[in-house]
Amino acid sequence: MATASSTTTKVTLPSDKEILITREFDAPRDVVFKAMTDPNLIPRWWGPRGYTTIVEKMDVRPGGKYRFLHRTTGGEESAFRGEYREVVAPERIVQTFEWEPMAGHISVETATFTEQDGRTLLTTRSVFASKEDRDGMIQSGMEKGLRETHDRFAELLVDLRTQDRKQTR
């Protein structure tokens, strides 16, 4: 049984240039990794509720690039982009992250996937060029959007497990 803290996204600031995010998901890490790296699944969970995400580019390999376009219910658009630096399935992804409206403010994100008893702890460490960049990200409201994104991701994982059980019958 999950404790309240295991299904809650936790955001901490371990240094002046870092954001550390943790969340435990009720799924094996190979399923969590696949859901995070499958361009067909990204629109089902990436971004806050009410947003549409369009995957314009997603080449999950070292040197590969990604670009996701967000569209609000009001029709406003903004994009996120980056480059994969390291991909070790199903253990780790290192990538850059840039929100295009604030071009040039690039962070490096390292996501690690740790499985225990069929559950996966996702730990993401974002390192920024400066304290100001880190603080700007925090002040952007990213934490609320991140929590909604993680909740949507957890819902997708339930759907994937349900589909998998139906297919194995």
Domain ranges of the chain: 4-47+89-97+104-167
Residues whose CB falls within 8 Å of the CB of residue 139, separated by 6 or more in sequence, listed in order: none
Q: Is 151 exposed, middle or buried (0-12, 13-18, 19+ CB in 10 A)?
A: middle
Q: What is the dihedral of CA 122, 126, 131, 133, to 10 degrees?
A: -120
pTM for this predicted structure? 0.90
Confidence of residue 4 (pLDDT cuts 50, 70, 90): very low
- pLDDT of 3: 35
Nearest to 154 by CA among 14, 26, 3: 26
Confidence of residue 42 (pLDDT cuts 50, 70, 90): very high
Nearest to 6 by CA among 24, 21, 22, 18: 24
Range 4-47+89-97+104-167: architecture per CATH: 2-Layer Sandwich (3.30)
pLDDT tens across 54-112, in order?
A: 999 999 999 999 999 999 989 999 999 999 999 999 999 999 999 998 899 999 999 99
Share of the chain above pLDDT 90, in %: 81
Assess whether pLDDT exceeds 90 at residue 19.
yes
Can you tell me the distance from the alpha carbon of 42 to that of 54, in angstroms, rounded to the nearest whole number?
Answer: 8
Asked if residues 113 and 90 have their Cβ atoms less than 8 Å apart, the reply is yes
Can you tell me the distance from the alpha carbon of 24 to that of 38, in angstroms, rounded to the nearest whole number?
Answer: 20
Assess whether pLDDT exceeds 90 at residue 115.
yes
